[in-house]
């Protein structure tokens, strides 16, 4: 065990570069390039604010991903709890001193850019729970103490995020946490029971929702009840996607986005613009690209010797999958509107930072897939 | 490696559960692809339509009105390019500076400036404000010269109604102007095609034929953004101009009528005695309908409204006059038809007639002595017609008069301001005034005074129907889809076979019992104009080509007192309002007659002095234009 440790610490920089997962890397690069072009289209075919900033962020965070990858996976294992704890502190900070914008308080000003700690929590919670399940004995997984601890790990950040308020991100954090619980071996019946409890308590939960959140659910059930108000976004989004057809309207030719019918086209509705301009073929292509990324991450998890790396990769792959599904379901009118960005494609620094760090840890797991963690 | 066993078991659990997740992921992705497929492939058409509906907005432009032309195809109500000035507020850098510049260039009033500012506040910044609807050419050039300094100003060329003959046709055509709310609501077609700036017919044929003239909107399609701002033009769909309407009128004759009645109040009507075509219909004084197109100024409106000669009244159709002696041909005809008199019947005129202690005067104080029908008509002897009327009775006279079109609208429902007039009988008086008929009233009815009220066009039609041998004509002012030619109309009347083009039936349009009686009346009218001592002898034309027959009339507007009769004042000595109306009805040429006319000069004095000379001047022109009119046989098929 000691020997192994030393062996892996001896990996040279050259070997690290050689051991990077190039399929994943190329897919991420492709996605990044594509996102710049789409951002260019949202700016109306000009290099304006969003295109520039998006490019700058990619230029900063992509090297950061490589930087993260060059740390041993053991390092990330060791620091998982601390990272989780730091992000919790940031969430607490934000809930007191954060920047307010359009009714919610989620951001902190870091001079260079504005950080949204709840986005980082999406990664931190996976790291934290992966470490917990890595260390715990399989026999103790379903013990009362264990369940209490893991549920606390999930619920504490969610309380902060929900109070910002940010329902979308808190759901994503919860789902990311729950998947680790699932993978870690928690009894299936617990999931079934909680799901049933959730369904039963749904009416109560709804009664606790804020009026605008209730409106979103009502709008989801019937977008035409207020086509110029609450239903506007989803109706326009469906029109844009539907009118794209098989081949799309062509790059820079999406009338819905050009003529400002699409709301939030830079962020949550970026897929709408993409789908309008590139059609069914382009959309399926984008889904395939995402699938490759997810599949590579799962594969890296599968070849990892440590359960931490394995849990992290599987968990992170699922998280990416969930982000995509929630975002696409929302713009396709399959789910109510909850704020959730599309990884890499959407404009937004914190989301991209978290995603890139996640990829970095995955790549670190790939480089050090033989690393055993006690 | 103490817990290696447990570690391996844990790895197994993780892998197994990951497999389940993996399968679930595939299912969900397939679901999303299916949704994409349904939106983008299955429902593509629906969403494409919705997307186009989003981005494409239509703008209706005012339709172009159909032209109205005279019988010869001359445009009498057309369309003209006009130059307008629009401001697009969002393109203006300094709005106040611009207004000051425009105020100086175009002499805009302060009121106008205030209105522009108000519009600016109301409209979206990209909607254009119309500063001036009708720039003169010099103003347009001026604006174009300074255009570099007038950012946000757009000179625009558009189409507007125009009446090239100004006041010549005002009472026939009416005019167009901006509709009010009620007018829009009342007419579905206007409602559908209405756009701001559109003008509709307010009076006359422009109003009556609105639905034919209006035309369809041109449509411009623009791509707009989510806020409704036009991004670019996609398509321009041309509108269809409204139907062309051809009238039976002759502009040359109409213009001549206007000149002859210059500065007089009165009316001239000319009619084809066979086809019933109205050749001219002029009411004097007239006014310029072009003034109303862009909103008439208060001063100009007051000038028209307060003119004592009453230009706003269409005297041809709405003016009611006592026919005076012009009724005598009908009285004579009625008496002949009812065999009350014959050509040999004579009356001794002593200048007055006593009846139940009342004196009825002949216009000639000394009297005409023994007069027969021909002489009585020629010299317009009142005493003779008192006696004839007394013998005939008002009820029999009424039947003949109504047969010839008195007391009925001539042009039917084409003009809502046309009046019916009145030819009285005993029943009418009982029903309307509640009193019994008095014989004295019969006498004055016999010379066209009393209750009788006629419009100039009625007198014209009455004369036409005597001139054509006593057949009913259907007066019309619009050339219809199946017009009857002059020759056909004439021939069918002469052969007694009358063909109604509208109902396609042979009709009995004979207004007489014995056509010989018509001939007698015609001869008497001829004598009145062409024989010595005839009342309109001075206005005769000897050339048989133009020779015409007629009857003068002088309608009193008030009772002549005994004193006045003794004074025998000259026209100039009587106040304008109290002067007699001068009337004249005539037809010609006497051999092969073609046209009938009626002339009324309000307060013009005697018919022989004020009205008959006008006929002399007019007849030459009317007859000369007959051949031209006849050649105009290329009837355009126009459905109205």
Query: How far apart (Å, rounded) are the C-alpha atoms in residues B203 and B529?
Result: 38
Residue B638 has what pLDDT?
A: 46
Q: How far apart are CA A211 and CA A208, in angstroms?
A: 9
Q: Answer left, alpha or beta for residue A255, where phi above 0 means left and psi between -120 and 50 means alpha.
A: alpha
* Distance (Å, whole) CA B603 – CA B610: 9
Q: What is the pLDDT of residues B506-520, one digit of tens each?
A: 556 788 888 899 999
pLDDT over 80 at A184, yes or no: yes
What is the pLDDT averaged over residues A112-124?
A: 92
Q: Which residues of B touch A280 (CB under 8 A)?
A: 36-37, 40-41
Q: Exposed, middle or buried, B265 (CB in 10 Å: 0-12/13-18/19+)?
A: buried
Choose the weakest-confidence range: A29-38, A49-58, A84-93, B179-188. B179-188
Chain A positions touching B43 (Cβ under 8 A) are 242
A138, A242, A329: residue with CB nearest B40: A242
A interface test, pick of B39, B46, B49, B224 with most A CB neighbours within 10 Å: B39
B586 band by pLDDT with thresholds 50, 70 and 90: very high
Match domain B251-287+314-631 to its CATH number in 1.10.287.3510, 3.40.710.10, 3.40.50.620, 3.40.50.1820. Answer: 3.40.710.10
Q: Find the mean pLDDT for residues B179-208.
A: 87
User: By C-alpha distance, which of B183, B249, B182 is closest to B211?
Assistant: B183
Instruction: Return phi, psi of residue B574, to 5°.
Output: -90, 140
pLDDT of residue B636: 52
Question: Which single residue is written with the structure tokens 């001047």?
Answer: B617
Q: Is B621 helix (H, G, I), strand (E, B) or coil?
A: helix
Asked whether the beta carbons of residue B51 and residue A243 sit closer than 8 angstroms, the reply is: yes
**Nearest-neighbour CA in chain B from A301: distance (Å):** 9
Domain boundaries, chain B: 59-246, 251-287+314-631
CA dist A170 and B597 (Å) reads 97
Q: What is the Cα–Cα distance from A243 to B46, expressed in whole angstroms? A: 8
Indicate yes or no: pTM above 0.95: no
- A331 occurs within a structural domain: yes
Q: How far apart are the first and last CA of chain A?
A: 8
Which of A175, A237, A239 to mutate: most B Cβ within 10 Å?
A: A239
> Dihedral (C-alpha) B32, B38, B43, B48: value to the nearest 10 degrees?
30
What are the distances in angstroms from CA B16 to CA A82, B181, B628? 30, 78, 107
> Is A372 a member of any domain?
no
**Facing A318 at nearest CB: one of B11, B21, B44:** B21
Interface residue A318 vs chain B (CB under 8 A): yes
Of A321 and A263, which is predicted with more confidence?
A321
Alpha-carbon distances of B608 from B381, B552, B571, B581, B605, rounded to whole Å:
14, 6, 13, 11, 9
pLDDT digits (tens, 9 = 90+) for A267-302: 889 999 999 999 999 999 999 999 999 999 999 999
> What is residue A3's predicted lDDT score, i.e. its pLDDT?
44
> Per DSSP, what are the bridge partners of residue B466?
none
A249 domain residue, yes or no: yes
Is the CB of residue A291 less than 8 Å away from at least one CB of chain B? Answer: yes
- Report d(CA B127, CA B121) in Å as an integer: 11
Tell me whether B504 touches chain A (CB under 8 Å).
Answer: no
Which pLDDT does position A234 carry in this prediction? 86
Contact B571, B581 (CB under 8 A): no
Tell whether A288 is covered by a domain. yes
DSSP symbols for A225-265: GSTTTTTHHHHHHHHHHHHHTTT-S-TT--HHHHTT-STTT
Provide the chain B residues 239-268 that lie in CB contact (below 8 A) with chain A.
none
Could you tell me which residues are beta bridge partners of residue B353?
B360
Average of per-residue pLDDT across B196-207 = 87
Quote the CA–CA distance of A98 and A83 in Å, as a whole number: 20
Q: Is residue A362 part of a domain?
A: yes
Identify whether the C-beta of residue B245 lies closer than 8 Å to the C-beta of residue B213.
yes
Q: Pairing state of beta strands B266-272 and B129-135?
A: unpaired
**Rounded CA separation B431/B451 (Å):** 14
| pLDDT above 70 (res A64) | yes
DSSP H/E element including A319: helix A307-331
pLDDT per position as a tens digit, B572-581: 788 888 899 9
Closest CB from A242, A307, A311 relative to B43: A242
d(CA B131, CA B102): 9
Residue B68, phi then psi, degrees to nearest 5: -110, 130
Indicate whether A323 pLDDT > 90: yes
CA A270 to chain centre: 15
pLDDT at A1: 40
B59-246 CATH fold: Penicillin-binding protein 2a (Domain 2) (3.90.1310)
DSSP state of B611: I
In this predicted structure, the answer to whether residue A174 has a pLDDT above a threshold of 90 is yes
- Is residue A342 one of the residues assigned to a domain? yes
Residues of A in contact with B223 (CB under 8 A): 255, 259
- CB atoms near residue B550 (< 10 Å): 35
Residue A271's closest CA among A343, A328, A339, A205?
A328
User: How far is it, in rounded angstroms, from Cα A294 to Cα A66?
Assistant: 18
Asked if the Cβ–Cβ distance from A239 to B50 is below 8 Å, we say yes
Helices of type H across B125-201? 137-145, 170-173, 181-186, 188-193
Burial degree of B127 (CB within 10 A; 0-12, 13-18, 19+): middle
| Phi, psi (deg, nearest 5) at residue B482 | -130, 65
Residue B640: the pLDDT is 45
Closest to B482 (Cα-Cα) out of B640, B249, B595, B274:
B640
Interface of A with B in 153-182 (CB under 8 A): 179, 182
Beta bridge partners of B362: none
From the list A185, A260, A287, the residue facing B10 with the nearest CB is A185
A253 in any annotated domain: yes
Q: pLDDT > 90: what percent of chain A? A: 63
Is the N-terminal amide bond of B589 cis, ω within 30° of 0? yes
Give me B511's structure tokens.
């207004």
Distance CA A281, CA B33 (A): 10
Report the C-alpha gap between A360 and B315 in whole angstroms: 99
What per-residue confidence (pLDDT) applies to A102? 76
Q: Return d(Cα B399, Cα B336) in angstroms, integer.
A: 13
pLDDT band at B110 (very low <50, low <70, confident <90, very high): confident
C-alpha of B452 from chain center? 26
- Give the confidence band of B503 by pLDDT, cuts at 50, 70, 90: low
Residue B2 has what pLDDT?
A: 43
Task: Establish if B226 touches chain A: CB-CB under 8 angstroms.
Answer: yes
Q: Kindly state whether B23 is in contact with chain A, defined as any CB-CB distance less than 8 angstroms.
A: no
The SS3 of residue B158 is strand
% of chain B beyond a pLDDT of 90: 50
Q: Say what the pLDDT of residue B502 is.
A: 54
| Nearest-CA distance A245 → chain B (Å) | 4
* Probe site for chain B from A45, A134, A138, A272 (most B CB atoms < 10 A): A138
Contact B224 A259 (CB under 8 A): yes
For chain A, what is the domain count?
Answer: 1
Q: How far apart are the first and last CA of chain B?
A: 107
Residue B10: pLDDT band (50, 70, 90) is confident
Please check the confidence at residue B497 and state whether its pLDDT lies above 70. Answer: no
pLDDT computed for residue B316 by the predictor: 94
What mean pLDDT, rounded, does chain B reach?
A: 87
In this prediction, residue A231 carries a pLDDT of: 78
B464 CB-near residues (< 8 Å, 6+ apart): B271, B272, B273, B276, B473, B587, B595, B596
The bridge status of strand B68-69 relative to strand B75-87 is antiparallel
* Residue B178, token pair as written in the block: 């901006």
Q: What are phi and psi of A257, to 5 degrees?
A: -80, -40
> What pairs with residue B81 in β-bridges?
B159
Does the beta carbon of B32 lie under 8 angstroms from any beta carbon of chain A?
Answer: yes
Contact B32, A332 (CB under 8 A): yes
Contact by Cβ (8 Å): B193, B216: yes
- For residue B393, pLDDT over 60 is answered with yes
Is the distance from CB of B345 to CB of B316 less than 8 angstroms?
Answer: no
Q: Sign of the CA dihedral B342, B345, B350, B355?
A: negative
| Position A63 confidence tier, pLDDT thresholds 50, 70, 90 | very high
Residues pairing with B282 in the sheet: B268
- Other beta carbons within 10 Å of B146: 14
**Partners of A40 in beta bridges:** none
If you average pLDDT over every residue of chain A, what do you get? 89
Q: B54–A259: do the CB atoms touch at under 8 Å?
A: yes
Tell me which residue range forms the domain holding A218. Answer: 2-367
CB pairs under 8 A between A and B: 128
Q: Mutating which of B9, B18, B228, B230 best tests the A interface, going by the most A Cβ atoms within 10 A?
A: B18
A307 vs B contacts (CB less than 8 Å): 7, 10-11, 14
Q: Is residue A374 part of a domain?
A: no
Q: Which of residues 320-349 of A touch B (CB under 8 A)?
A: 321, 325, 328-329, 332, 334
Given a cut of 60, whether residue B337 has pLDDT beyond it is yes
Q: Which of A132-136, B58-62, B501-505 has the lowest mean pLDDT?
A: B501-505
């Amino acid at each position: 065990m000691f020997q192994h440790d030393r062996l892996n610490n001896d990996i040279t920089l050259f070997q690290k570069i050689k051991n990077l997962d190039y399929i994943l890397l190329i897919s991420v690069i492709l996605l990044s390039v594509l996102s710049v072009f789409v951002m260019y289209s949202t700016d109306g075919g000009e290099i304006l604010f969003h295109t520039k900033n998006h490019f700058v962020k990619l230029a900063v965070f992509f090297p950061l991903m490589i930087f993260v990858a060059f740390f041993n996976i053991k390092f990330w294992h060791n620091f998982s709890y601390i990272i989780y704890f730091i992000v919790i502190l940031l969430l607490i900070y934000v809930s007191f001193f954060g920047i307010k914008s359009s009714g919610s308080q989620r951001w902190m000003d870091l001079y260079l850019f504005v950080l949204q700690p709840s986005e980082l929590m999406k990664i931190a919670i996976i790291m934290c729970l992966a470490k917990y399940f890595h260390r715990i004995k399989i026999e103790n997984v379903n013990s009362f103490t264990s369940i209490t601890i893991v549920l606390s790990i999930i619920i504490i950040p969610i309380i902060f995020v929900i109070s910002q308020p940010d329902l979308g991100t808190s759901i994503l954090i919860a789902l990311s946490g729950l998947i680790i619980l699932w993978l870690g071996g928690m009894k299936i019946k617990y999931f079934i029971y909680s799901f049933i409890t959730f369904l039963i308590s749904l009416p109560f939960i709804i009664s606790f929702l804020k009026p605008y959140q209730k409106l979103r659910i009502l709008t989801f059930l019937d977008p035409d009840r207020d086509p110029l108000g609450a239903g506007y976004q989803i109706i326009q989004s469906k029109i844009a996607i539907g009118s794209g057809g098989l081949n799309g309207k062509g790059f820079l030719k999406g009338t819905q986005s050009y003529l400002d019918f699409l709301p939030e086209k830079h962020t949550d509705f970026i897929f709408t613009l993409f789908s309008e301009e590139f059609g069914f073929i382009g959309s399926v292509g984008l889904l395939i690209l995402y699938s490759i990324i997810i599949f590579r991450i799962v594969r890296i998890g599968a070849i990892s010797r440590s359960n931490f790396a394995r849990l992290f990769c599987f968990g992170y792959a699922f998280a990416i999958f969930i982000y995509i599904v929630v975002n696409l379901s929302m713009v396709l009118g399959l789910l109510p509107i909850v704020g959730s960005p599309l990884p890499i494609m959407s404009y937004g620094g914190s989301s991209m930072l978290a995603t890139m760090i996640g990829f970095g840890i995955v790549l670190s797991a790939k480089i050090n897939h033989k690393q055993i963690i006690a | 490696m103490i817990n290696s066993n447990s570690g391996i078991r844990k790895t197994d659990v993780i892998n197994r559960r990951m497999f389940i997740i993996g399968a679930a992921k595939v299912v969900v992705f397939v679901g999303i692809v299916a949704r994409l497929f349904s939106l983008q492939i299955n429902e593509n058409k629906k969403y494409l339509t919705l997307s186009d509906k989003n981005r494409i907005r239509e703008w209706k432009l005012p339709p172009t009105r159909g032209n109205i032309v005279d019988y010869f195809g001359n445009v009498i109500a057309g369309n003209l390019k006009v130059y307008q000035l629009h401001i697009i507020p969002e393109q203006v850098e300094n709005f106040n500076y611009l207004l000051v510049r425009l105020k100086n260039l175009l002499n805009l009033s302060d009121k106008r400036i205030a209105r522009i500012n108000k519009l600016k506040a109301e409209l979206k910044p990209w909607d254009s404000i119309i500063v001036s609807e009708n720039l003169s050419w010099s103003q347009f050039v001026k604006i174009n010269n300074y255009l570099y300094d007038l950012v946000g100003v757009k000179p625009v060329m558009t189409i507007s109604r125009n009446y090239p003959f100004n006041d010549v046709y005002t009472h026939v055509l009416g005019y167009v102007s901006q509709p009010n709310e009620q007018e829009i609501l009342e007419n579905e077609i206007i409602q559908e095609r209405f756009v701001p700036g559109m003008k509709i017919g307010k009076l006359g044929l422009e109003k009556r034929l609105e639905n034919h003239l209006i035309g369809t909107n041109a449509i411009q399609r623009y791509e707009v953004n989510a806020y409704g701002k036009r991004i670019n033009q996609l398509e321009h769909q041309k509108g269809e101009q409204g139907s062309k309407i051809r009238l039976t009128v002759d502009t040359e004759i109409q213009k001549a009528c206007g000149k002859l009645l210059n500065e007089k109040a009165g009316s001239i009507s000319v009619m084809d005695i066979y086809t019933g075509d109205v050749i001219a219909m002029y009411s004097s004084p007239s006014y310029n309908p072009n003034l109303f197109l862009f909103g008439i100024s208060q001063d100009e409106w007051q000038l028209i409204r307060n003119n004592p000669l009453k230009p706003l009244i269409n005297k041809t159709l709405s003016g009611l006059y006592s026919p005076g002696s012009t009724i005598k041909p009908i009285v004579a005809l009625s008496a002949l038809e009812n065999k009350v008199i014959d050509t040999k019947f004579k009356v001794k005129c002593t200048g007055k007639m006593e009846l139940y202690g009342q004196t009825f005067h002949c216009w000639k104080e000394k009297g005409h002595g023994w007069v027969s029908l021909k002489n009585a008509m020629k010299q317009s002897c009142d005493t003779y017609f008192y006696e004839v009327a007394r013998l005939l009775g008002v009820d029999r006279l009424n039947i003949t008069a109504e047969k010839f079109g008195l007391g009925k609208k001539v042009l039917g429902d084409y003009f809502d301001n046309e009046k019916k007039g009145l030819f009285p009988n005993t029943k009418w008086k009982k029903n309307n005034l509640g009193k019994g008929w008095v014989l004295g009233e019969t006498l004055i009815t016999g010379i066209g005074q009393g209750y009788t009220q006629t419009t100039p066009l009625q007198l014209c039609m009455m004369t036409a129907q005597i001139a054509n041998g006593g057949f009913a004509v259907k007066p019309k002012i619009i050339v219809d889809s199946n017009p009857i030619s002059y020759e056909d109309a004439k021939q069918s009347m002469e052969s007694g076979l009358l063909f109604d083009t509208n109902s396609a039936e042979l009709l009995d349009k004979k207004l007489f019992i014995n056509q010989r009686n018509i001939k007698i009346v015609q001869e008497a009218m001829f004598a009145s104009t062409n024989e010595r001592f005839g009342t309109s002898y001075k206005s005769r034309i000897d050339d048989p080509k133009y020779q015409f027959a007629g009857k003068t009339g002088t309608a009193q507007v008030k009772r002549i007192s005994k004193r006045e009769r003794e004074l025998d004042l000259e026209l100039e000595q009587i106040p304008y309002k109290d002067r007699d109306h001068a009337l004249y009805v005539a037809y010609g040429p006497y051999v092969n007659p073609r046209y009938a006319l009626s002339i009324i000069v309000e307060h013009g004095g005697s018919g022989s002095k004020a009205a008959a000379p006008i006929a002399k001047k007019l007849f030459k022109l009317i007859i000369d234009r007959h051949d031209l009119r006849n050649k105009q046989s290329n009837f355009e098929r126009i459905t109205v």
